[in-house]
Amino acid sequence: MQTVDFYRIMDKELEEKLVKYKDDSFLIRNRSSVNNQKSYALLIWFLEFYGRRTNYHDFITDGNGDSSCDIIFDNYDNQGNKVFYIVQSKWNNENNCTAEINKDEILKSLSDFETILRGEKRKVNDKLKIKLAELDNHLKENGDVKFIFLSLSKYSGNANENIKSLINYQPRTTFDVIDIERLKINYIDRNFKKIEPINPLETYYDPDTSQITIEIAKLNEHNNNCIKIDEPFKAYMFLLRPKIIYELFKKYGFALFYKNVRNPLMQSRFNEEIEQTIIDEPAFFWYYNNGITAITYLLPAIRNQATTIKITGLQIINGAQTVYSIYKAYKNASPTKQMQMDNEAMITMRLLKSGGKNFDLNVTKYTNSQNPINDRDFCANEDIQINLQNNSYSTNIWYEKRSDEFRELPAGIIKVANSIFANVFLAYHLQDPISVIKNYQQFKQTNKDLIFISHKNHKEGLYEKIFDTTTKFEDMLCAFYVFDLLTKNTKYGDTKNVEATIYFLLTFFNITFTKYLKIKYDSKINVNRKIIMLYDNHQTEILLKAYEFINIFIQKYGQPLDITNFLKIKQALENYDLKIAEIETLQI
């Protein structure tokens, strides 16, 4: 999905807001100003998308004569502390959606925000005057404030130093720029992955560093409230009531599952069954549900008679669906139903001391064994995987970093597993098809995918070789495009070893087409970017001619294309003095 395509989605939704709220006094008053109307509609969209608020009119304080609008409202965080949010939106037209946010716009907003904090804002309307008075009292009580600059342009950090200065000068103040790329990622999360994005209108706490208090359900009159395991790793097992699960998720949200290979889905049949059970048959819930498994690096000693424990650094590695479903059911239940749930339902919690990355991953793997998990799923939360996926959102080929994470796809978008991207990248960009083939052969025997296993855990692990700081989605996309082209046009389709052949050809194509472009154009040409452009514009004739040249070259070599001859053919191709006419004059 190109940024401009997402902009059009957003613009359509803003137009729908303008129609829906056409009788709004601000919109009537600013009928002739597209900037004012769209900025206002963007704030309505923002409140409804992130804040889930429909009474937007209570929060938007329209500006006086400028093209910006503000939201000023207060909300309570999960610690019960009041936070004031001040949001300013900047709409822009389609031509500017891929441009960098003008630094001066952010500096002006920073200046406006500082004026607000100093209580010096003048010429304000009555609604804003009331909100500013409330904010002033909040500041006098040493309350927290968060400023948000909302824009349908891109932000690359050109005002970070100025933002840092404001934060340093104003304690208990934060500033967040939400640009079109972040909006796109959040929009995809909710609409196509069916998971909740991080909400900028909520305060999140890190369960990895926070001290979490958990109330344990009392089992019997003898005060044996937990089961303790000492060897080889310390662990406890105890029971929790639904209220405790609800409060955990309310406070920490999806951060509870950062080390889980699966995030809870907003909507699924499995979740609905969990919710239905705890609502309709709470007494049976323990019998029907496996409970949750959590790890901590600092496992406390727990007495048998303890009913409250404190844990620092908690991560739920199995049971994300259970936690989220209980949270939703409890949140939407009446006080009477909540009381019934807490009286009758119990959830098993296993609390383990972390035994290091390998142990933790194995626990995650085996406790999730009711639904098979691939090796790639265990890497899905790593920064490199997240960055590659986010970068893929600017194209029509989306990088799938864990199994089945996209529940839906927009028209014109296809998903490609990161395992496919990794294999073609290894063969094309890193020129190592032999590792791809050997891994494929081993995977059939052991079901272990060395592409997503570290060399620290397996001597032939390939993960760090493929995924490092230099790995770019653009390079992976180029390799995939060539792979797709060769797969659809292979001359080796009737052989038994077609999969191996394709990966050899990827290596040869890189060598050949790189030589061709550098001779024809310039040695500094970005080869991968040129291939992507040709493929996207359906100008693949020259790519197919290069492929035909490779076929002829292999035939002239006179040896079968296999592992034994691969390096010989590769070296011969590298040493070959290519003439561009040898490719351009070919018939396909």
Asked whether the predicted pLDDT for residue 338 surpasses 70, the reply is: yes
Looking at the fold, whether 512 and 413 belong to one and the same domain comes out as: yes
Looking at the fold, whether 329 and 225 belong to one and the same domain comes out as: yes
Q: Does the residue 204 lie in any domain? A: no
Domain endpoint, select from 354, 372, 390:
372
Looking at the fold, whether 387 and 415 belong to one and the same domain comes out as: yes
Is 230 or 583 the better-scoring residue by pLDDT?
583
Asked whether the predicted pLDDT for residue 19 surpasses 50, the reply is: yes
Looking at the fold, whether 177 and 289 belong to one and the same domain comes out as: no
Rg of the Cα atoms in the chain = 29
Count how many domains the chain has: 3
Structure tokens that stand for 241 in this block: 């009531």
Looking at the fold, whether 511 and 435 belong to one and the same domain comes out as: yes
Cα gap 310→37, rounded to integer Å: 51
Q: Does the residue 200 lie in any domain? A: no
Cα gap 391→471, rounded to integer Å: 12
Q: 317 and 369 in contact (C-beta within 8 Å)?
A: no
- Would you call the peptide bond into 232 cis, given omega within 30 degrees of 0 as the criterion? yes
Q: Does the residue 64 lie in any domain? A: yes
H-helix segments, 393-459: 418-428, 433-446
Looking at the fold, whether 524 and 423 belong to one and the same domain comes out as: yes
**Predicted pLDDT at 494:** 41
Q: Dihedral (C-alpha) 22, 27, 29, 35: value to the nearest 10 degrees?
A: -140
Helix axes 3-20, 34-49, angle to 10 degrees: 90
Percentage with pLDDT > 70 across the chain:
86
Cα gap 253→236, rounded to integer Å: 23
Q: Does the residue 202 lie in any domain? A: no
**Predicted pLDDT at 67:** 38
Residue with tokens 């949750």: 292
Looking at the fold, whether 360 and 227 belong to one and the same domain comes out as: yes
**Predicted pLDDT at 37:** 86
Per-residue confidence at 400, pLDDT binned at 50, 70, 90? very high
| Alpha-carbon distance values, 126 to 3, 41, 43, 61 (Å) | 38, 21, 19, 9
Segment holding 44, helix H or strand E: helix 34-49
> Parallel, antiparallel, or unpaired for β 308-318 and 292-298?
antiparallel
Render 151-178 in DSSP notation, one character per residue: ESSB--STTHHHHHHHHHHSTTEEEEEE
Among 414, 391, 250, residue whose Cα is nearest residue 324: 250
What strand order describes the sheet that includes 60-62? 60-62, 69-76, 82-90, 144-151, 173-178
Among the residue ranges 5-19, 211-225, 333-347, 441-455, the one predicted with the least confidence is 211-225
Domain endpoint, select from 372, 404, 432:
372
Q: Does the residue 78 lie in any domain? A: yes
**Predicted pLDDT at 68:** 46
Q: Does the residue 281 lie in any domain? A: yes
Among the residue ranges 254-263, 292-301, 399-408, 442-451, the one predicted with the least confidence is 254-263
Looking at the fold, whether 188 and 224 belong to one and the same domain comes out as: no
- Span 145-191, pLDDT tens digits: 888 998 898 998 888 888 888 778 778 888 889 999 999 999 998 88
- Span 486-528, pLDDT tens digits: 888 766 444 445 567 889 999 999 999 999 999 998 888 999 9
36: domain CATH number is 3.40.91
Among 485, 583, 464, residue whose Cα is nearest residue 534: 485
Cα gap 452→423, rounded to integer Å: 11
Q: Does the residue 153 lie in any domain? A: yes
- Span 40-90, pLDDT tens digits: 888 889 888 887 666 666 667 665 444 345 777 777 776 678 888 888 888
3-state secondary structure of 4: helix
Q: Which residues contact 479 (CB under 8 A, 6 or more apart)?
A: 421, 424, 425, 427, 428, 429, 506
Domain endpoint, select from 128, 161, 193:
193
**Predicted pLDDT at 496:** 45
Domain span at 295: 211-372
Residue 586 backbone dihedrals phi, psi, to 5 degrees? -70, 145
Q: Does the residue 205 lie in any domain? A: no
Q: Is 369 exposed, middle or buried (0-12, 13-18, 19+ CB in 10 A)?
A: exposed
**Predicted pLDDT at 125:** 66
Looking at the fold, whether 39 and 179 belong to one and the same domain comes out as: yes
Looking at the fold, whether 345 and 399 belong to one and the same domain comes out as: no
Segment of 87-101, 135-149, 400-414, 469-483 carrying the highest mean pLDDT: 469-483
Cα gap 227→350, rounded to integer Å: 9
**Predicted pLDDT at 66:** 43
> Parallel, antiparallel, or unpaired for β 144-151 and 173-178?
parallel
Cα gap 286→240, rounded to integer Å: 10
**Predicted pLDDT at 92:** 83
Looking at the fold, whether 447 and 576 belong to one and the same domain comes out as: yes
3-state secondary structure of 391: helix
Looking at the fold, whether 361 and 416 belong to one and the same domain comes out as: no
Segment holding 334, helix H or strand E: none
